[in-house]
Structure 1
Amino acid sequence: MPELNPTDEFDSLASEPLPGVDSAEADARADGESRAAQSLSDQLELARAQAAEQRNLYLRALADFDNYRKRAQRDINDQSERGRRELLRRILPVLDNLARAEEYRERGTPAEQIVDGVVQTSKQMLAALAAENVRPIEVVGKPFDPSVAEAVATQPATDGVADNTVVAEVAKGYYIGNDVLRPAQVVVATKM
């Protein structure tokens, strides 16, 4: 007896028409299923291609944003460096004048002339600071305000001086714009 292969048996069954279905109808149904499968396969390929394109667009946008962020940070750093250089350029003449005052002292120039030069240099420094929107905080004779000054000492209030009034300035305070750059260090009158 010849040995039957299960695959051969299946192939022979598959080639036989189904009862109640003619072969043309079976072929049409198989052809329709094949077209539907091909259509689904095509749609899947299209969806995969669109997903890959969207991913590429996303990665490009991400890289563009990263480049923008780096460029913006570089611009901020460059602007800060330019501002720093400009401030230093304004301050260097003050340093030159202080060096001249030292030279004059070594030559034996009278102290009064040196002091006059230092006063002019101080004005030059204040002008350089003003160009950077830095200005002194005026506190002497005013009520003590801890937001712009720090009390480093107190002294008894004398006649005509109200309690908690700034009577002397140990170190000048400065604003930059409307913000306190450095608070003034002051002596405050107190009633004992």
Structure 2
Amino acid sequence: MDSSQFPSEDDLKQKETVVEAKEEVSDEIDEKKENEPTIDENEKLLDELTQKNQELEDKYLRSQAEIQNMHQRFEKEQRQLLKYGGQKLAKEILPVIDNIERALQVEVTDDNGEQLKKGIELTLKSLNTALKNSDVTEIKAENQKFDPTIHQAIQTVPADDSHPADTVVSVLQKGYMIKDRVLRPSMVIVAN
């Protein structure tokens, strides 16, 4: 017999090592398979992740909508500030105009009084121009139909031929508007 037909001891050891390595790899594969989730577990995990993703997407969309709403509110407030910016100053000037108009109703008899009255008239004219330039306008009231949104009835008198019911008979204090907003309603006497 030929000795080449029989494996040598080294060949046998090598084969043994290969078999052992195969067994170890096979054991590792089996162990990994045991630790891997099943198809049902994978589907459950996928469902959970999908649900979390949808919740996060919903929160994101809500946040974006809230940011957009806040931006729109801010822009509206800015427009309001620009539109009615002079409102506070105008309200504070109105009593000054009332006092100047009352002062102009006083009769003067001497030259000094007449000169002073002309100066006061110029001051009133300047104030009225400044208000007009700031879009502040007087509310027309006398002989107009009573409107509770722009008029404040202080007193009523019986209606007659020249003043039908719900008509403003006289103005006790002028009212003013800034653009479309009432600064101060007209205080009026109304026919009833």
- Provide TM-score, normalisation by structure 1: 0.51
Deviation at 1:169?
0.8
Structure 1, unaligned runs of 5 or more: 1-33, 102-107
Deviation at 1:179?
6.2
Equivalent residue letter for 1:79? R
Residue in 2 aligned with 1:112? 117
User: Are positions 1:140 and 2:145 aligned together?
Assistant: no
Residue in 2 aligned with 1:63? 63
Map 1:118-129; keep pairs closer than 5 Å.
118-129=123-134
Residue in 1 aligned with 2:74? 74
CA distance in 2, matches of 1:161, 1:56: 72
Q: 1:92-145: per-residue Cα shift (whole Å, max 9, x none)? A: xx89xx9xx9xxxxxx99313322222312431441343xxx533322124545
Residue in 2 aligned with 1:162? 163
Deviation at 1:157?
7.0
- Provide TM-score, normalisation by structure 2: 0.51
Equivalent residue letter for 2:66? D
Shifted more, 168-177 versus 47-56: the winner is 168-177
Residue in 2 aligned with 1:6? none
Equivalent residue letter for 1:117? L
User: Quick one: percent identity of the two aligned structures?
Assistant: 20
Residue in 2 aligned with 1:54? 54
Q: 1:20-56: per-residue Cα shift (whole Å, max 9, x none)? A: xxxxxxxxxxxxxx9xx93222222221221222122
Equivalent residue letter for 2:51? A
Residue in 2 aligned with 1:38? 38
Shifted more, 146-155 versus 56-65: the winner is 146-155
CA distance in 2, matches of 1:157, 1:69: 52
Q: Is the 8 A contact 1:161 1:189 kept in 2?
A: no
CA distance in 1, matches of 2:130, 2:174: 14
